[in-house]
Amino acid sequence: MSVGNDIVDLADPETRQQGLHPRFDERVFGAAERALLDAAAADPRHVLRWALWAAKESAYKAAKRCAPELVFSPKRFAVELAALPAPGRVAVGRVVHRGQALDLEVRVDGSCLHALVRGPRAAGARWLWRAGRAAGDPGAAVRRLAAGAMGSALGLDPAAVQIARRPPVALHRGRVLGVDLSLSHHGRFVGFACAVS
């Protein structure tokens, strides 16, 4: 079971077209993805570009757990979306890497874009993924968000759940919890995804 997530602040200065390298799309996206971008109007193109990027980042995080030697090469992660991400809806699709397909979901809430990529679900497992605003240090904020949600989902005291190490590991009173966990932050937002039994 593997999971990855990525979050993008769509209003952050580094996501604006003017802030991108002129060959960003060519270096990051495959021909089919660039064709989708070229066909989109300006506002949907902005959201689509970052949805594709977040999907690739999420898939990389999921794949890296199984293959620690993996190097991020964005073009090698092919993203297929059934529909463009839109506010209030979840866009679904998949990311294919080395012949393996991972399920993809993308949510857009205002300026917050959150992508989740996951492998096959183990029997009885459920997926948790949340996004929130970063209060103070984003690394600490995303760990608080994940610990609180996981504690509630597992019937544990959220204050006794700790997220440590890299890649992140969830602990309850020092004991490792059997969850696959992914953390992300960008701009004003933090997000996490995990699979819990």
Q: How far apart are CA 185 and CA 9, in angstroms?
A: 9
pTM value is 0.92
Of 22 and 117, the structure prediction assigns the larger pLDDT to: 117
Give residue 21's pLDDT.
Answer: 80
Chain centre distance of CA 5: 2
Rg (CA), the chain: 17
Fill in the amino acid letter for 94: R
Average pLDDT on 28-57 reads 93
Q: What is the pLDDT of residues 121-142, one digit of tens each?
A: 655 678 899 999 998 999 999 9
How much is the average pLDDT of 47-74?
Answer: 92
Q: Can you point out the beta strands (E) in 62-188?
A: 78-81, 90-97, 100-109, 112-118, 126-133, 161-164, 169-172, 175-176, 180-186
Handedness of CA 74, 75, 77, 81 (dihedral sign): positive
- Give pLDDT tens digits for 162-188: 999 878 899 999 899 988 899 999 999
The string of pLDDT tens digits covering residues 82-94 is 888 888 889 999 9
So what's the pLDDT on residue 179? 87
What domains sit in the chain, N to C, each tagged with a CATH number? 3-196 (3.90.470.20)
Helices and strands, counts by H and E, the chain: 4, 11
The whole-number average pLDDT for the span 138-150 is 95
How far is it, in rounded angstroms, from Cα 77 to Cα 159?
37
E strand or H helix at 141:
helix 138-154
CA separation, residue 197 to residues 85, 128, 172, 178 (Å): 29, 11, 15, 8
Query: What pLDDT score does 167 carry?
Result: 82
pLDDT greater than 60 at residue 155:
yes
